[in-house]
């Protein structure tokens, strides 16, 4: 499928390199990672060595200095792997966590950590969501108070991707509980091993099984003031700003998942016979798959259009909210029908489509639930 309207040759080169790597290195090994509950760190270091973890970061840190369109290519190809736990492990590191350090960290912090982040030697996580505050960022309860040249953090975070095995955590906490909620959040860089910072538990999920996910706890964790990312009290705006990139990533990832599901199902129905002929001969199946293919093609084009506009510096909050809602729902529609057309075989553990259907369910929840996204759209209609 051509992308010539939105992409440059370097984006297509990135796509080709990713697809070869995923076919050769990831797909043969990733089933074991589902059982292990994590992506091996040597794989992430290998991806760093190949340049896949720094497509948006400057060459001074080992990156490729590309734009939002490269992010969309990366996310789509990782989604096409059929192992979305692997995909989200990478994408949280590249586009949801480390960006806070890059965007707002001091020169000293970036010089210390960004080369290792791009190389895959230091893996990152982002701590925003809490047991009682998901899409409602203003409702967080984790607190940080200033004491001399440090801050002391107390609270907890929930559903943290890479939370068990990360090395660095960009954690949001309330530093002002008296003023407006949007002006009281600050982001801190925490290192694993800081006193009082613990992984409370690893979470057992419905899908994304190869993504390690955790609940984190902070009990009088002392963080140097030099580890504040950006200005005190401006963390809410940083989170909102990166949500645009994050939602483009999730939309592109969902379309990669959806296209792979359609491809797998087309192969299955063209080779599986029922009532004396291949399932593909059934008009209802052909037409439903055709409509799904059309919807995915349209949504995929929308993702790349929005990515191109974001790369050009356009205001795309409305469009990003639209695509996150659209793609999160569409990928689940695709998985429902594709599993249906696989019949009983699709319901068995160990089949690709069964795993993909479980993995896709969270796409309508994480990174901004569909209902929240539609409210963001409605505000701008």
pTM: 0.94
Average of pLDDT values for 211-229? 97
For position 137, what pLDDT does the model report?
66
Convert the pLDDT of each residue in 315-363 to its tens digit: 999 999 999 999 999 999 999 999 999 999 999 999 999 999 999 999 9
Q: How confident is the model at residue 308 (pLDDT cuts 50, 70, 90)?
A: very high
Q: Is the pLDDT of residue 273 over 90?
A: no
Is residue 240 pLDDT above 90, yes or no?
Answer: no
- Backbone φ, ψ for residue 147 (5° rounding): -135, 100
Burial of 344 (0-12, 13-18, 19+ CB in 10 A): exposed
Looking at residue 136, what is its pLDDT?
Answer: 65
- For residue 241, pLDDT over 90 is answered with no
Phi-psi region of 107 (alpha: psi -120 to 50; beta: other; left: phi over 0): alpha
pLDDT at 239: 87
Average pLDDT over residues 159-175: 96
Tell how strand 277-278 and strand 150-161 pair up.
Answer: unpaired
What is the mean predicted confidence (pLDDT) over 97-101? 97
Q: What is the mean pLDDT of the chain?
A: 94
pLDDT at position 4 = 66
Q: Which residues are catalytic?
A: 246
Q: CB under 8 Å to 31, separation ≥6 — which residues?
A: none
The boundaries of every CATH 1.10.540.10 domain in the chain are: 9-123
CATH 2.40.110.10, the chain: domain bounds: 125-233
Least confident segment among 97-106, 126-135, 167-176, 255-264: 126-135
Superfamily of domain 9-123: Acyl-CoA dehydrogenase/oxidase, N-terminal domain (1.10.540.10)
CATH 1.20.140.10 domain range(s) in the chain: 237-379
Q: Average pLDDT for residues 129-142, to the nearest whole number? A: 77
What is the SS3 string spanning the chain? CCCCCCCCHHHHHHHHHHHHHHHHHHCCCHHHHHHHCCCCHHHHHHHHHCCCCCCCCCHHHCCCCCCHHHHHHHHHHHHHCCCHHHHHHHHHHHHHHHHHHHHHCCHHHHHHHHHHHHHCCCCEEEECCECCECCCHHHCCCEEEEECCEEEEEEEEEEEECCCCCCEEEEEEECCCCCCHHHCEEEEEEECCCCCEEEEEECCCCCCCCCCEEEEEEEEEEEEHHHEECCCCEHHHHHHHHHHHHHHHHHHHHHHHHHHHHHHHHHHHHHCEECCEEHHHCHHHHHHHHHHHHHHHHHHHHHHHHHHHHHCCCCCHHHHHHHHHHHHHHHHHHHHHHHHHHHHHHHCCCCHHHHHHHHHHHHHCCCCCHHHHHHHHHHCC
So what's the pLDDT on residue 180?
A: 79
Mean pLDDT over 103-117 rounds to: 97
Fold annotation for 125-233: Butyryl-CoA Dehydrogenase, subunit A; domain 2 (2.40.110)
Residue 133 has pLDDT above 80, yes or no: no
Q: 128: which residues sit within 8 A by CB, 6+ positions away?
A: 137, 140, 157, 172, 239
Q: Which tokens is 128 given?
A: 């925003």
The mean per-residue pLDDT over the stretch 261-284 comes to 94
Looking at domain 237-379, which CATH architecture does it have? Up-down Bundle (1.20)
Q: What is the pLDDT of residue 179?
A: 76
Mean pLDDT confidence for 151-165: 96
Q: What is the mean pLDDT of residues 97-126?
A: 97
Quick one: average pLDDT of 50-63? 97
Percent of the chain with pLDDT strictly greater than 70 = 97
């Amino acid at each position: 499928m051509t992308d010539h309207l939105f992409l440059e040759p370097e984006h297509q080169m990135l796509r080709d390199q990713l697809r070869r790597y995923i076919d050769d290195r990831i797909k043969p090994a990733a089933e074991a990672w589902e059982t292990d509950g994590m992506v091996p760190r040597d794989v992430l270091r290998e991806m760093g060595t190949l340049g896949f973890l720094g497509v948006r970061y400057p060459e001074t840190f080992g990156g490729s200095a590309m734009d939002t369109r490269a992010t969309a290519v990366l996310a789509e190809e990782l989604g096409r792997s059929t192992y979305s736990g692997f995909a989200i492990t990478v994408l949280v590191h590249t586009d949801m966590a480390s960006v806070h350090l890059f965007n707002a960290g001091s020169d000293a912090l970036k010089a210390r950590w960004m080369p290792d982040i791009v190389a895959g030697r230091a893996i990152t996580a982002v701590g925003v969501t809490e047991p009682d505050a998901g899409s409602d960022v203003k409702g967080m309860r984790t607190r940080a108070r200033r004491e001399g040249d440090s801050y002391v953090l107390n609270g907890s975070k929930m559903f943290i991707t890479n939370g068990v095995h990360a090395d660095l955590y960009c954690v949001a906490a309330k530093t002002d509980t008296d003023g407006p909620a949007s002006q009281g959040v600050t982001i801190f860089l925490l290192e694993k091993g800081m006193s009082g910072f613990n992984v409370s538990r690893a979470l057992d999920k419905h899908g994304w099984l190869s993504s390690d996910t955790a609940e984190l706890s902070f009990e009088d964790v002392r963080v140097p003031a030099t580890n504040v990312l950006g200005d005190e009290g401006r963390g809410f705006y940083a989170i909102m700003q990166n949500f645009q990139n994050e939602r483009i990533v999730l939309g592109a990832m969902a379309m990669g998942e959806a296209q792979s599901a359609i491809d797998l199902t087309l192969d299955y129905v063209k080779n599986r016979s029922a009532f004396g002929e291949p399932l593909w001969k059934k008009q209802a199946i052909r037409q439903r798959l055709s409509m799904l293919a059309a919807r995915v093609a349209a949504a995929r084009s929308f993702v790349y259009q929005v990515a191109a506009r974001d790369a050009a510096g356009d205001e795309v909050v409305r469009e990003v909210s639209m695509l996150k809602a659209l793609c999160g729902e569409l990928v689940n529609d695709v998985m429902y029908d594709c599993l249906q057309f696989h019949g009983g075989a699709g319901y068995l553990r160990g089949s690709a489509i069964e795993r993909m259907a479980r993995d896709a369910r969270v796409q309508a929840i994480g990174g901004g639930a569909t209902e929240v996204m539609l409210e963001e759209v409605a505000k701008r209609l």
